Structure 1
Amino acid sequence: MTNIILCGGSGTRLWPISRTLMPKQFVKLFSHNKKIKSLFQLTVQRNSKICDSQFIVSNTEQYFLALDQLEELSKTNNKYLLEPIGRNTAPAIALACMQLDKDEIVLVTPSDHLIKNEIEYEKVLLKAKELAEDNNLVTFGITPTFPETGFGYIESQNEFDVKAFHEKPDLNTATSYLKAGNYYWNSGMFMFKAGVFLNELKKYSPNIYETSLNALNNANKENDLTRIKHTDMINIPEDSIDYAVMEKSSIVKVIPSNINWSDVGSFDALYEELPWSETESCSEAKVKDENNNTLNENHISIDSKNNLIYGNDRIIATVDVEDLIVIDTGDALLVSKKGSSQKVKKVVEKLKQQNSQLHNIHLTGHRPWGTYTVLEDKSGYKIKRIEVKPGKRLSLQKHFHRNEHWIVVSGTATVTVGDKKQYIRPNESTYIKMGELHRLENEGKIPVVLIEAQVGEYTGEDDIVRVDDDFRM
């Protein structure tokens, strides 16, 4: 069985924790065996108990995040599909299934869901596998615990048969669904044979099938990595698997799933889950302080109750406040009433209108070669901390609007400027003039850490001309 993991989406309702270049599925929030892990990592660990391999569907930026986090888990049996632009779930799943044997059973899951009852989850997967082996398209319906208006619903009949799919309801309708007892939240998880799904896609959405097949035939393929070309991807109609196939097919089954599931889709949902930890025995612990605030070492609470407090760097003090969401990420501060956190995506829309980069990237940016952290950014200069992984190097590049000073803090940096190559050791420095071709490399066994001071009239990240790049960024 192959786990197709969908990594698209930027999680705008969890801004400023979640950003375009570090979406919520890769943010490390949850404890597992005393290590803080991301939702993506928990997804891989959970599903690898029944799946033999992972097929990651993402864009280029998320691909490198997935690579790093899979390496931490020592997961090596992976395939990757890189989409230059998202076209929703139907094309993503089709492009992956087209690269698998037609009889391969696939478990399709988002990368950003939390499932806490893993014992029941494994039972649900095994039942789904039985139905999938019998050439059904299986979806997972989450047993609802309250009248949620933010999810679609699946109406069942005769235990596993699907009677109808329903759009997000109003509160009265959601309440009637809950009372009826045969309505389930649509989880966005599926199981089927690759060939069975493709046959149904060809039958009900032939245009998606044909354009996806054409895109795959024209794709660049490197071992277990497939890169779809932008011109081909844009020609694929944008549609979800629900609209394209599931709501039209006559071979759909639903598995009722009481698995303690959350899509962690808002800060109100996150408040219910933090802090959360899991052990190998699948026991869990959710702990708040004596006033029902989330636990945070940086939080000083004076008569404050029922608050979500998130921040890792600065002290956050609250006095006589209740039912608030306070999120501090160093470069942005969000304060919201609980119950209103769905409106956070409106903040992201305003940031985009203002041409701000705060919706896009954190102070620390993750790259395939390592990370950089902006320490200060003022008119005329910018200061960064750069860390390069052993054996990695940045692109051969030049800048038109800035000079750069590099001071090595630890490790030995290999620096190429023009046709000159030199080794810069701790407490040594080098200088790159505006317009000079240069490259930073780590040929050693430990990370290279350096401080970069940029001086110039413009210090934006787009002032880079890449001549040669190992990662094709």
Structure 2
Amino acid sequence: MTNIILCGGSGTRLWPISRSLMPKQFVKLFLEESAEHKDKKSLFQLTVERNSKVCKSQFIVSNTEQYFLALDQLEELGKTNNKYLLEPVGRNTAPAIALACMQLDYDEIVLVTPSDHLIKDEKEYEKVLKKAKEFAKDNKLVTFGITPTFAETGFGYIEASPANGDSSLVNGMDVVNFHEKPSLDVANEYLETNNKYTNNKSTSYYMWNSGMFCFKAGVFLDELEKYSAEIYNTCKTAFDNKKIDNSTLRIQHSHMEAIPDDSIDYAVMEKSDIVKVIPSNIAWSDVGSFDALYEELPKDKNGNTKNDKHISIDSKNNLVYGSDRIIASIDVEDLIIIDTGDALLISKKGSSQKVKKVVEKLKASNSQLHNIHQTAYRPWGTYTVLEESAGYKIKRIEVKPGSRLSLQKHFHRNEHWIVVSGTATVTVGEETRLVRPNESTYIKMGEVHRLENQGKIPVVLIEAQVGEYIDEDDIVRISDDFKRE
């Protein structure tokens, strides 16, 4: 069984922790404890660890920026020999899954999962997957329904009925319909219907739509061609014109743009007559809001999330996130306090779904705060913006051993590099030389240049940019090890 992991989405409901270039699935929020050490892992890493126990390989579907985040985090887990599908532009889940399935054998069973969900009952999860695999072998399309514990308006719902008269919720159910996110009144009606089902007074049962699926790759493609031929045909054209670099499939931009934007639910699952849903009580959360995140994080005796930087004076039941500055709270309850250095969010618990409205305002004002953190992750390392104002920007740049930036030039800024530690190999024009700690170099506007670390320890330098335009898109890549445009 192959795990297709979908890495799309920017997680705007968890801003400012989650940004477009560092979405929630890659933020290390969850503590993994062992006898020797304590490390935080991301939802993506937890997804890989969980599913690698039952799947022989991973097939990562992402855009280029997330690809390098995935590479780094898989390396930390010691996971190699993974496949990757890189989408130049997102076209929703149906095309993403179809393109991945086209690379697999017809009878290969795939487990499709988002990369940003939390599942805590792994024993029950493995039981559910075993049942799903049986259905998939019988040429069924399987989805997983989460038994609702409260009237949630932020999820889609699956309406199901007993399969062959079996009302035990054990052996899977037939799908009656998929429902969009309901109003609170409708969500309460779903719960009441479930209560009647338990008492054998109803044949309908409602579950949260988990967004996870299991089927044979070829069976899914057959159903996609049958019910959404345009998506299938444009995906086939895009796949036939792909570029392959080792284990990485790259789809061309023009072919990806031609594919209709549609979800797997709309394109296939709602239309097919071979769909089964398995009720799954697996302690699942999509961690789709700060209220949901609060429920999953460890807390102190006063109900505040544990944080070494938090000084609490008579404060209770608060989500407090921040790792740089001291956060002090006095006589406050039921708040969400998120400090990321460049942005501060304060919200009442229960109102965190409105965070996406903040992101909309940031986009409208042409701010980059929705897009990138002060520290940005690149395939060669990281950079942190230390200060920025009109006409200049100061960064701390760290280059991993054996890595180098693209050969590039800028049209609107000059750059001055001062090495703090390590030894940098710097190319400016036709000259290449070593720059050691406390030494510097200057790159004039328009000059072709490159920064490289040929050593065994990270190179750390301070970069001062000066110019009338200093945004990140003022870059022309002439040659790039990572095949970025």
Q: Same fold (TM over 0.5)?
A: yes
Whole-Å Cα distance in 1 between the matches of residues 340 and 383 of structure 2? 16
1:307 alignment counterpart? 318
2:380 alignment counterpart? 369
Question: Which whole-Å deviations, capped at 9, do the CAs of 1:160-195 have from their partners, x for residues lacking one?
Answer: 222222222222221222233321110000000001
2:107 alignment partner AA: D
Matched, 1:49 2:62: no
Matched, 1:165 2:165: no
Can you give the 5+ residue segments of structure 2 that lack an aligned partner in the other structure? 163-168, 195-204
Whole-Å Cα distance in 2 between the matches of residues 84 and 199 of structure 1? 25
1:82 to 75, 86, 90: 86
Matched, 1:114 2:114: no
Secondary structure of the 1:371 match is strand
Question: Which whole-Å deviations, capped at 9, do the CAs of 1:135-178 have from their partners, x for residues lacking one?
Answer: 11000001111111111111222242222222222222212222
Whole-Å Cα distance in 1 between the matches of residues 44 and 136 of structure 2? 24
Whole-Å Cα distance in 1 between the matches of residues 380 and 42 of structure 2? 20
1:383 to 390, 394, 400: 394
Paired residues for 1:33-432 under 5 Å: 33=33, 34-158=38-162, 159=169, 160=172, 161-181=174-194, 182-275=205-298, 288-432=299-443
2:42 alignment partner AA: S
- Mean alpha-carbon deviation: is it higher for 382-391 or for 154-163? 154-163
Whole-Å Cα distance in 1 between the matches of residues 183 and 416 of structure 2? 58
| Deviation, structure 1 residue 351 | 0.6
Secondary structure of the 1:346 match is helix
2:199 alignment counterpart? none
The alignment of Structure 1 onto Structure 2 pairs a total of residues equal to 461
| Deviation, structure 1 residue 369 | 0.6
Whole-Å Cα distance in 2 between the matches of residues 144 and 432 of structure 1? 59
Whole-Å Cα distance in 1 between the matches of residues 393 and 179 of structure 2? 51
Whole-Å Cα distance in 2 between the matches of residues 398 and 166 of structure 1? 51
Question: Which whole-Å deviations, capped at 9, do the CAs of 1:405-459 have from their partners, x for residues lacking one?
Answer: 2111211110011111111112222222222211000111111111111222322
Secondary structure of the 1:384 match is strand
Question: Which whole-Å deviations, capped at 9, do the CAs of 1:331-372 have from their partners, x for residues lacking one?
Answer: 001111111110100111111110000000000011111100
Whole-Å Cα distance in 2 between the matches of residues 125 and 67 of structure 1? 26
2:146 alignment partner AA: I
Whole-Å Cα distance in 1 between the matches of residues 444 and 184 of structure 2? 62
Question: Which whole-Å deviations, capped at 9, do the CAs of 1:304-349 have from their partners, x for residues lacking one?
Answer: 1111111110111111111111111000011111111101001111
Secondary structure of the 2:369 match is coil
Secondary structure of the 1:212 match is helix
Whole-Å Cα distance in 2 between the matches of residues 168 and 422 of structure 1? 59
- Mean alpha-carbon deviation: is it higher for 125-134 or for 161-170? 161-170
Whole-Å Cα distance in 1 between the matches of residues 102 and 193 of structure 2? 39
1:175 alignment partner AA: N
- Mean alpha-carbon deviation: is it higher for 12-21 or for 179-188? 179-188
2:464 to 453, 456, 460: 453
Whole-Å Cα distance in 1 between the matches of residues 182 and 470 of structure 2? 48
Question: Stretches of 4+ moved more than 6 A in 1?
Answer: none
1:29 alignment partner AA: L
| Deviation, structure 1 residue 77 | 2.2
1:18 alignment counterpart? 18
Secondary structure of the 1:238 match is coil
2:198 alignment counterpart? none
Secondary structure of the 1:444 match is coil
Question: Which whole-Å deviations, capped at 9, do the CAs of 1:376-425 have from their partners, x for residues lacking one?
Answer: 11222211110111111111112222222211121111001111111111
2:216 alignment partner AA: K
Whole-Å Cα distance in 1 between the matches of residues 142 and 125 of structure 2? 14
2:197 alignment counterpart? none
RMSD: 1.1
Secondary structure of the 2:98 match is helix
1:28 alignment partner AA: K
1:285 alignment counterpart? none
| Deviation, structure 1 residue 5 | 0.4
2:30 alignment counterpart? 30
Question: Which whole-Å deviations, capped at 9, do the CAs of 1:206-232 have from their partners, x for residues lacking one?
Answer: 111111000111111112111111111
1:162 alignment partner AA: V
**Identity percentage over the alignment?**
79
